[in-house]
């Protein structure tokens, strides 16, 4: 049991390092798409160290200080439950039968925590970002759940390990090709999870100067920064397991998660931003209808 905990800590540290690197690459690619030079790809490491070393004298309610921990624990929970390398005693992590259901709960854990934290921030407009975030979450959760439930019914399991095993035997066995419409719905929902353009309605930096990056500072912002990086990697691995057949080694896991990451980055770099009601309307129409095509086909079988 102790070795499992030790390897779990190594997975968290490795996932954080990978997530920070992807964040730096994202900033660099976005800058180049916008005609700017951009920061170094290691800027996120520098920012995290700088935030950890800072102190704050701000005093708010208890939930305000607990919210970043909710975000951090949610990211750690997702990363430790999704199998990174299947049939590996170490990198299969703490996956078990029914782990898919627990992962779905952990994915909303951080978002709800940040929403509760905003209520204790003391800012008169602190409800703007959480309101937008919860509205968008209600939007993308519907097509995402249609996609996940459809795959669970198709393979008769709610175990991520079993879902990955069912996709072995070649690229054409991946759910991306077996159930393309469920996959399209899932990947569209993923853009909302990452607050990628055109669904970056939570921060809206060109519109409002409020939200977690403004309200939090020092160590509390470092917790949120860390949680966001871990969440990002955990969700990349989750979508790899759900749609791209999982991975049988670390190199394959890196290639597949990096490909998903590039998909998010390039979509973000070329699309303008929706308003909140436009984003929710989009999620409840196009990806829902697309996902239902395969969902109905599964039931007809």
Give pLDDT tens digits for 242-260. 999 888 888 999 999 999 9
Give pLDDT tens digits for 61-84. 677 777 778 878 888 888 888 888
pLDDT value, residue 2: 66
Give pLDDT tens digits for 13-43. 888 888 888 888 888 888 887 788 888 888 8
**Number of domains composing the chain:** 1
Cβ atoms of residues 240 and 260 within 8 Å: yes
Collapsed DSSP state (helix, strand, coil) of residue 115: helix
Q: What is the DSSP letter of 146?
A: H
Which among 128, 130, 115 is positioned nearest to 74, based on CA atoms?
A: 115
Cα–Cα dist 204/27, whole Å: 16
């Amino acid at each position: 049991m102790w070795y499992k905990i030790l390897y779990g800590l190594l997975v968290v540290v490795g996932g954080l390092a990978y997530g920070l690197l992807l964040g730096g690459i994202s900033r660099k690619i976005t800058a180049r798409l916008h005609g700017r030079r951009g920061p170094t790809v290691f800027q996120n490491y520098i920012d995290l160290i700088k935030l950890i070393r800072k102190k704050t004298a701000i005093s708010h309610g208890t939930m305000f200080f607990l919210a970043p921990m909710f975000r951090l624990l949610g990211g750690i929970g997702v990363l430790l439950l999704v199998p990174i390398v299947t049939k590996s005693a170490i990198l299969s992590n703490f996956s078990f039968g029914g782990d898919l259901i627990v992962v779905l709960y952990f994915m909303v854990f951080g978002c709800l925590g940040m929403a509760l934290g905003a209520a204790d921030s003391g800012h008169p407009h602190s409800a703007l970002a959480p309101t937008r975030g919860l509205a968008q979450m209600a939007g993308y959760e519907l097509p995402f759940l249609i996609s996940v439930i459809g795959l669970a019914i198709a393979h008769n399991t709610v175990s991520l390990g079993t879902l990955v095993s069912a996709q072995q035997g070649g690229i054409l066995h991946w759910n991306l090709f077996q159930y393309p419409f469920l996959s399209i719905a899932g990947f569209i929902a993923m853009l909302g999870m990452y607050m990628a353009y055109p669904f970056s309605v939570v921060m809206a930096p060109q519109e409002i100067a409020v939200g977690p990056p403004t309200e939090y500072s020092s160590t509390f912002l470092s917790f949120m920064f860390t949680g966001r990086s871990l969440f990002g990697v955990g969700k990349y691995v989750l979508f790899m397991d759900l749609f791209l057949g999982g991975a049988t080694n670390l190199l394959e896991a890196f290639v597949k998660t990096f490909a998903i990451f590039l998909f998010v980055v390039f979509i973000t770099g070329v699309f303008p931003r929706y308003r909140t009601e436009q984003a929710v309307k989009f999620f409840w129409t196009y990806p829902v209808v697309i996902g239902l095509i395969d969902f109905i086909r599964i039931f007809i079988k």
